[in-house]
Structure 1
Amino acid sequence: MDFILDNKWAFLIVAEVIFWVSTLSFLIVRYWFNLKTLSIAFFVLFIVNDLWIATMGYFDYMRTGEFSAYQIIILIVIAYAFLYGKSDFQKLDHFIQRKVAKWRGLPEPTLTNIKPLYGTEHAKQERRNFYGHLFIFSAVQVLFFFMFGLSDAVSSIQLDTLFEDWYDQKETDLFYKNDTANNVTRIWALILAIDFVFSMSYSIFPKKEKQLTRSA
């Protein structure tokens, strides 16, 4: 990990390249080659790459003890993914579908434009998205439990020091008998917490529809 952190900017650039390659590969394989099952592999690569970016930011902070421009950039990337990633991906998806149809001489596909949601409907959708994220996180934790079992440290957990024990050390024994599973869990838990804040914020501050101004 030291080598990666010594060259953290280069690895961050590589991760961004992988982001675009995996995204475009997913769409091209799915629509040009019509290999929908294979395209899932690129989607998984996209998710793993996002976790990798978060991992680099976390371990760099643990190494330096400072919240630097590096962490700020990574937080911006994660925040963008939660706030605008889905809608921008949908736009790119529609663009690729139209281009592929044009290149292959096929009729332009009929694409359903999803009506933007506002207010309570938008808040409900954001909560549903978070619940889906929480379900996947929980399912992976169950998988880790059966694969590795709980560590001895779980029996001595103290709630008042849980956060410190979990995040203030480069290596942690919480919660499984496997270092990789523990690191994936605590980094994913941070991402889940950020998702929770963004998703639930719309329940407190509903998204308002922009009012179109009419010229006189």
Structure 2
Amino acid sequence: MTYTLLIALEVLFWALLLGGLLTRYALQHPRLGALLLTLAPLTDLALLGLSAADLHRGGTATFAHALAAVFIALSVTSGRTMLRTLDHLVQRGLRRQPLQRPRLTGHAHAHAERRGWLVHAATWLIGTGLMLGAAAWIAAPERTAALTGAARLWTLILAIDFLVSFSYSLWPRKPHNA
């Protein structure tokens, strides 16, 4: 699988997502917008299928295969949140309303960081499960080294994220005024 295919499918994913939202609100066609939004996750299924087919045909895993697993895991764990956030941003943007997001501090910020880490952990679980599952399925370590290497790297990143995210429970973020 090439990086070009990976990029093309991700661009298509975001084009369908943004196109669906703009069609829904700017063009005032909610049914067509819903159809486009429904098609967006199918690009991730195509990505999964193409990655599996490539490896099954004897291809050697690359970092693109690992990224495919990451993108699929992100869609599963964060797809609804991303869609809600984009939906909100598009609605506000079309109404030309400024985005006002309060800066979280103290316990609220620590809670948000911990929750973010839990989402990251769920994404890691699905993504590394896909990577290591593919490596086990292929059963040729010389062809799947990129997958196992990416899983190890992501595990390190998850551990660092844990330390940072949970540090706010011990040392809460202070307000700017303090």
Q: TM-score, normalised by structure 1?
A: 0.45
Larger radius of gyration: 1
Letter in 2 for 1:59: A
Aligned match of 1:58 in 39, 42, 52? Answer: 52
Deviation at 1:66, TM superposition (A): 3.9
Report the counterpart of residue 16 of structure 1 in structure 2. 10
Correspondence 1:72 to 2:66: yes
CA RMSD of aligned residues (A): 4.3
Determine which structure has the larger helix proportion and give its number: 2
| Structure 1: distance between partners of 2:55 and 2:64 | 9
- Cα distance in 1, alignment partners of residues 74 and 61 from structure 2: 19
**1:93 to partner: Cα distance:** 1.5
Percent of aligned pairs sharing the same letter: 23
2:149 corresponds to: none
Residue type at the aligned position of 2:173: L
Any idea what the Cα deviations from partners look like across 1:123-161, whole Å, max 9, x if unmatched? xxx9xxxxxxxxxxxxxxxxxxxxxxxxxxxxxxxxxxx
2:29 matches 1:35: yes
1:213 positional shift: 4.5
1:91 maps to 2:89:
no
Higher relative CO (Cα under 8 Å, sequence separation at least 6) belongs to: 2
Q: Is the 8 A contact 2:6 2:64 kept in 1?
A: no
Q: How does 1:148-167 map to 2 (within 5 A)?
A: none
Describe the superposition over 1:27-67 as per-residue Cα deviations: whole angstroms up to 9, x where unpaired.
10111122111112101220211111111111111122643
Q: Which residue of 2 aligns with 1:212?
A: 173
Distance 1:65 1:33, change over 3 A: closer
For structure 2, the residue ranges without an aligned partner over 5 or more in a row are: 99-107, 120-132, 139-164
Query: Which residue of structure 1 lines up, in the alignment, with residue 38 of structure 2?
Result: 44
**Structure 2: distance between partners of 1:87 and 1:208:** 22
Give the count of matched residue pairs: 129
Alignment counterpart, residue 81 of structure 1, candidates 75, 86, 93: 75
